[in-house]
Structure 1
Amino acid sequence: MIKINMFSQADKVGGQGVGSAYDELIGAMKKYGQKDFDMTINSLKKSDITHYHTINPRYYLLSFFKNKRGVGVGSVHFVPETLNGSLRIPKPFKKIFDWYLISFYKRMDGLVVVNPEFVNEVVKLGISKEKVTYIPNFVSSKEFYEMNDDEKKRFRQKLGIKPDKFVVLGVGQIQKRKGFDDFVKLAKQNPDIQFIWAGGFSFGKITDGYDSYKKIYDNPPANMLFTGIIKRKELASYYNIANLFLLPSYSELFPMSILEALNCNTPIMLRNLDLYVDILGDSYLAEKDVTEMDQNLKYYSKHEDELKEFNKKSRKWANLYSEESIYNRWKEYYISLLNK
């Protein structure tokens, strides 16, 4: 049996995808890996493999004790460029942080990215391509699934939303990188549509654009609802009452929110980014910019039946990222590292 230790502090910051991805993997390891792995979490016991899910300085120091930590694996959730439009970090500190991040990744024996397009981004940091492996995110179908009509109706009633109201849902941290400005603009341009943003300021005042976004958060358009940071198990209800999930991000890897929407059989609209093509195929509406988003929101809110084809595609693509199949990829990966 392989001894594997997971190091993570992701759960200390709510409402972020890093924590969600970590929780899903831990859940799958407990469910399917009990015969293959002796898993510990944030333990200092000797292990064959140590998987670092976050880049805490303490973990960086622990990575030097190879005899006790074994093979080092790092999850790549971001590179220096992806922090632009997310956090407000003064330039001198940003340079130090960028150096630290790259140094942390170089300490690892293997790195895992959640999008195949991102392999080359990691290589650009001076890391050998042989060290980088692609394993996608996944979500549990037990927590994220399509509810029945009565359940959807009750939740709409709870929120005070009429049964025939067209609902557009956005999920994630309130950040410029997430295309939040466009989401608000679309809400203002479509007063007859109900917009909901599930998420908040996970990193508080250091969020890029915090001051202006907090004003919107405190005084939203009449047709826009903010849930704030909520527990993941509550999110499924929001996906289920949404007629459309909209994520107008400018930069992403493989958002957990997209997988959650797929599992709940919710049609998806995204900004037309190259990184989505390989991982999502034809399962979503790809829009060039906010103008196209606005045009199609107006159209589909009046022709909702035409979104049903995307319901079918959501089911197909959700099956590709099932919990058990992705766990098996992790199992093969961990074993291959030891064999090397």
Structure 2
Amino acid sequence: MSVYLYPGGFRLVCRSGIGQALLHQRRALAAAGIPLAQSMREGQIVHINTVFPDALLAALAARLTGKRVVYYAHSTMEDFRRSFPGSNWLAPLFKRWIRLCYQMGDVVITPTDYSRRLLLEYGIRKPVYSLTNGVDTDFFSPDAARRRAFRERYGLSEEDRAVISVGHMIERKGILDYIALARQMPQVRFYWFGDTPACLIPRAVRRAMAAPPDNLCFAGYIGQKELRDAYCGADAFAFLSYEETEGIAVLEALACGIPVILRDIPVYQGWIPEGDGIWKARDAAGFRQAAGDALAGSLRETEGTGRRIALDRRLAAVGQRLAATYQKEFPVSRSETDCENEEVIS
């Protein structure tokens, strides 16, 4: 049974978690030995990852031609809010739109039990599975050489303390709280990795970024190799997002064994426990305390709870769970198997 990963809109999302999720699906399917089709015509299952108009039309075309459609629900109304200018006003309309998109799937897959509950509350009347986006735990892993590379690149000595965060420059990602945290800890170096078109950055965020504390660097977008160096080289990862459906950056940080500071929000309940190199907080005072505690440790927990959480979500395991979902929802009849064998023989 072959799978076609619909690429529409990838250029728009390639620097986001959705873009990474699509790449992860490619690697997970390969690890599970599931063939990837080069066109929709060749594929028996079509994966849709975006909610742009072309994606909805692609899902409709796939269904009209007898393909099975797996719609990935990466977005919710809740994580659309507090993002780009006008997003709060548009959120109810966005909810109606994504509900229409997801209903086009024969199966809906979303990253966590939390986002699955939201979709069921929306009234999605299709089978909804929670399945992590996964993380490449071979690529993202603790490495002393990568730590040195990061610290040399940014002029950090071993005595310097550095905190990093990753994401779009929007309120929902907690950037205002991150700037405030940097201001409270002038003796620590802070870095924010990520880029957002200026027209999409909310006014409050633009104002705060225009006058940052001296110890905060907005380093812009960096590639995966340099990002891996940052996870390995920093002393803590502070991800203060108000809402997520999972958080691929969190998985990457956990995989690299870096101490992680998170906002205590529902999406992490049940799979990211506090302790052993993981801190959760709800407000500025809590973030300041958590950062102080994380930076006070002399050794990083490279093989602690965080790394184990990531290994449970490695891409090979994601591929196996995808294959099990296909077998459950799209059982292959004997006649279909015979046809496939005939094509191979011919």
- Normalised by the length of structure 2, the TM-score is 0.87
Which residue is 1:78 aligned to?
75
Q: Structure 2: how far apart are the matches of 1:56 and 1:22? A: 15
Cα RMSD for the two superposed structures:
2.3
Q: Report if the CA contact (8 A) 1:10-1:53 is conserved.
A: no
- Normalised by the length of structure 1, the TM-score is 0.88
1:229 counterpart = 2:227: no
Q: Structure 2: how far apart are the matches of 1:154 and 1:119? A: 39
Q: What's the offset of the Cα at 1:309?
A: 5.1
Q: Report if the CA contact (8 A) 1:63-1:69 is conserved.
A: no
From 135, 154, 161, the equivalent of 1:159 is 154
Which residue is 2:344 aligned to?
none
Q: What's the offset of the Cα at 1:281?
A: 2.6
Q: Structure 2: how far apart are the matches of 1:237 and 1:17? A: 19
Shift in alpha-carbon separation, 1:171–1:163, aligned structure 2, 3 A: same
Amino acid at match of 1:236: R
Amino acid at match of 1:120: R
Which residue is 1:137 aligned to?
133
The runs of at least 4 aligned residues of structure 1 exceeding 6 Å deviation read none
Q: Structure 2: how far apart are the matches of 1:154 and 1:106? A: 47
Which residue is 2:109 aligned to?
112
Aligned residues with identical type, % of pairs: 22
Shift in alpha-carbon separation, 1:72–1:299, aligned structure 2, 3 A: closer
Aligned to 2:70, the other structure's residue is in SS state: strand
Aligned to 1:64, the other structure's residue is in SS state: helix
Q: What's the offset of the Cα at 1:238?
A: 0.5
Q: Report if the CA contact (8 A) 2:81-2:88 is conserved.
A: no
From 233, 241, 248, the equivalent of 2:240 is 248
Q: Structure 2: how far apart are the matches of 1:75 and 1:152? A: 34
Q: Report if the CA contact (8 A) 2:5-2:22 is conserved.
A: no
From 52, 56, 77, the equivalent of 1:56 is 52
1:145-165 per-residue CA deviation (whole Å, 9 max, x = no partner) reads 1112x4422331221112211
Q: What's the offset of the Cα at 1:54?
A: 0.9
Which residue is 2:331 aligned to?
339
Which residue is 1:267 aligned to?
259
1:285 counterpart = 2:279: yes
Q: What's the offset of the Cα at 1:64?
A: 2.7
Which residue is 1:197 aligned to?
192
Q: What's the offset of the Cα at 1:308?
A: 4.2
Shift in alpha-carbon separation, 1:275–1:99, aligned structure 2, 3 A: closer
Q: Structure 2: how far apart are the matches of 1:90 and 1:272? A: 23
User: 117-126 or 282-291: which moved more?
Assistant: 282-291
1:261-299 per-residue CA deviation (whole Å, 9 max, x = no partner) reads 111111111111122121223462111211111123234
Q: Report if the CA contact (8 A) 1:80-1:98 is conserved.
A: yes
Q: Report if the CA contact (8 A) 1:267-1:311 is conserved.
A: no
Q: Structure 1: how far apart are the matches of 2:26 and 2:5? A: 9
1:290-321 per-residue CA deviation (whole Å, 9 max, x = no partner) reads 111112323443x223x645852222222211
From 271, 293, 304, the equivalent of 2:297 is 304
User: 60-69 or 133-142: which moved more?
Assistant: 60-69
Q: What's the offset of the Cα at 1:219?
A: 4.5
Structure 2 residues not aligned, in runs of 5+: 333-346
Q: What's the offset of the Cα at 1:218?
A: 5.0
Q: Report if the CA contact (8 A) 1:171-1:247 is conserved.
A: yes
Aligned residues: 328
From 29, 38, 41, the equivalent of 1:45 is 41
Q: Report if the CA contact (8 A) 1:47-1:69 is conserved.
A: no
1:179 counterpart = 2:174: yes
Q: What's the offset of the Cα at 1:103?
A: 0.8
1:146 counterpart = 2:142: yes
1:10 counterpart = 2:3: no
